[in-house]
């Protein structure tokens, strides 16, 4: 999928291709997070955007005969995608950033994957039932017990369902840079409902609906969704990933134990004994544990094939050794049907990802080299699965990627400066 954003905050015109692994580098205040948030909002909003997919003739035929078959090849996909982008652009300020609508940006989408899955969906509206059968080439829509008084609602629901069934849009999870504070203050995130009710009762001037609206809208959508994820951790913990392997074991290794909600709080524990045993609440753990906690729970309990994970500054609070382990986790994710998008400043993370890309090539002592340096086959990254960009000058500059990895000029420039300064100082001592 290609995503282009124009005329939005520090971004003048920026476009990326969302690959299995997509990285955005760049200096501070160049729009990396804005761009990632905008893409996140689009994917979250996509299935709820309502546009007209059925033509007026299709609508009349369906309502007259209670049944219609639509050849997907005859749908104007380009117009549908343009309508989605335009509809999202109009609400991006309020929906994603909880701000008043300012200038409406220009958003462009292309190369969206079409769904080839064979599905059957039933929608109940009043006493009417809508049955949509979908395969690679056709939609077959049937209305049973049609209530003509609900025709407008029926058409609205069908259009929304068709958009969801037409494109293969990934479900998305985001780990925001504010994740450290979210995990730390987990127990304080929920308003005590009894206290809230008592407060409303005592003050005749408070409108409860205004209070709830103000409280829920103070954060950007990705931050709010991260908060909601942590608040729902008890329910989330009951689920289980449908991936072939449990990728949270990478994080378990990084933090030296497992995380679990015990009905009152999230705790870090291990299976060791004596002085090496750990069983502590998350607010007493290191910053690295708290920074990785939401990703741990997502990978262990919610992740499924095709999901996109966006991580803002994944290197935050991680040592160099843990950043290298994170690179292996990222490789394992994309090799197990997940997509990853990162915004990062970390040269260490880039260097290790480049090492994993170079391991995609064959050389004489590859097996012994990998064993000596603790690499496994699931750590190897195919460069064709990677897209990388530098956020600069109001846009996105595409990085060259080959068998040696990603060429990130901005990082190389600063590292070369440091090396030059060091060489100059050493020569003077």
At 232, phi and psi to the nearest 5? -100, 20
pLDDT single digits (tens) 80-117: 999 999 999 999 999 999 887 678 999 999 999 999 88
Q: Above 80 in pLDDT, residue 185? A: no
Which strands sit side by side in the sheet containing 106-110, from one edge to the other?
Answer: 11-17, 2-8, 106-110
pLDDT digits (tens, 9 = 90+) for 342-352: 999 999 999 99
Q: CA distances (Å), 179 to each of 185, 281, 343, 395, 409, in order?
A: 10, 16, 14, 27, 29
User: Cα–Cα–Cα angle for 183, 344, 176, nearest 5°?
Assistant: 25
Q: Which helix (H) or strand (E) holds 158?
A: helix 151-166
Please state the separation of Cα 29 from the chain's center in Å. 21
**Whats the size of the chain, residue-wise?**
429
Among candidates 213, 291, 285, which has minimal Cα distance to 256?
A: 285
Q: If you write DSSP's letter for every residue of 189-226 in order, what string do you get?
A: SS--HHHHHHHHHH-TT--HHHHHHHHHTSS-HHHHHH
Token match 């910053």: residue?
Answer: 287
The model's pLDDT over 262-317, given as tens digits with 9 standing for 90+, comes to 988 899 998 887 777 889 999 899 999 999 999 999 999 999 999 999 999 999 88
Give the residue with greater pLDDT, 97 vs 190.
97
* pTM assigned to the model: 0.89
Given the DSSP bridges, would you call strands 11-17 and 279-281 parallel, antiparallel or unpaired? unpaired
Q: Which two tokens stand for residue 384?
A: 């064709």
Domain ranges across the chain: 52-166
Give the lowest-confidence range in 177-186, 248-257, 263-272, 362-371.
177-186
């Amino acid at each position: 999928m290609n995503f282009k954003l124009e005329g939005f905050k520090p971004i003048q015109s920026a476009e990326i291709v969302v690959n299995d692994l997509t990285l955005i580098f760049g200096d501070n205040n160049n729009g990396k997070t804005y761009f990632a948030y905008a893409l996140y909002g689009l994917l979250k909003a996509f299935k709820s955007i309502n546009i007209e997919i059925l033509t007026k003739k299709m609508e009349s035929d369906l309502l007259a005969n209670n049944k219609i078959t639509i050849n997907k090849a005859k749908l104007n996909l380009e117009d549908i995608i343009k309508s989605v982008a335009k509809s999202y652009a109009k609400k991006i300020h309020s929906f994603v950033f909880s701000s008043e609508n300012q200038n409406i940006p220009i958003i462009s989408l292309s190369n969206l994957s079409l769904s080839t899955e064979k599905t059957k969906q039933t929608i109940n509206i009043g006493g009417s039932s809508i049955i949509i059968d979908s395969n690679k080439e056709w939609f077959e829509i049937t209305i049973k017990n049609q209530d003509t008084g609900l025709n407008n609602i029926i058409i609205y629901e069908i259009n929304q369902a068709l958009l969801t069934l037409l494109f293969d849009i990934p479900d998305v999870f985001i780990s925001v840079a504010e994740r450290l504070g979210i995990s730390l203050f987990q127990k304080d995130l929920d308003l005590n409902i009894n206290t809230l009710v008592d407060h409303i009762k005592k003050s005749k001037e408070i409108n409860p609906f205004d209070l709830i609206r103000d409280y829920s809208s103070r954060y950007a959508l990705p931050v709010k969704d991260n908060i909601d994820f942590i608040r729902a951790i008890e329910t989330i913990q009951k689920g289980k990933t449908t991936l072939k392997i449990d990728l949270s074991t990478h994080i378990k290794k990084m933090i030296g134990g497992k995380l679990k909600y015990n009905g009152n709080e999230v705790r870090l524990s291990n299976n060791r004994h004596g002085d090496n045993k750990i069983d502590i609440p998350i607010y007493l753990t290191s910053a690295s544990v708290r920074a990785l906690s939401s990703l741990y729970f997502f990978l262990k309990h919610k992740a499924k094939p095709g999901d996109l994970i966006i991580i803002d500054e994944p290197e935050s609070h991680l040592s160099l050794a843990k950043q290298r382990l994170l690179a292996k986790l990222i490789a394992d994710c994309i090799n197990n049907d997940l997509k990853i998008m990162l915004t990062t400043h970390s040269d260490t993370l880039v260097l290790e990802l480049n090492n994993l890309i170079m391991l995609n090539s064959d050389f004489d002592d590859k097996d012994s080299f990998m064993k000596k340096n603790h690499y496994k086959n699931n750590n190897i990254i195919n460069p064709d699965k990677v897209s990388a960009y530098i956020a600069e000058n109001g846009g996105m500059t595409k990085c060259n990627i080959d068998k040696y990895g990603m060429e990130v000029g901005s990082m190389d420039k600063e590292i070369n400066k440091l090396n030059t300064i060091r060489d100059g100082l050493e020569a003077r001592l």
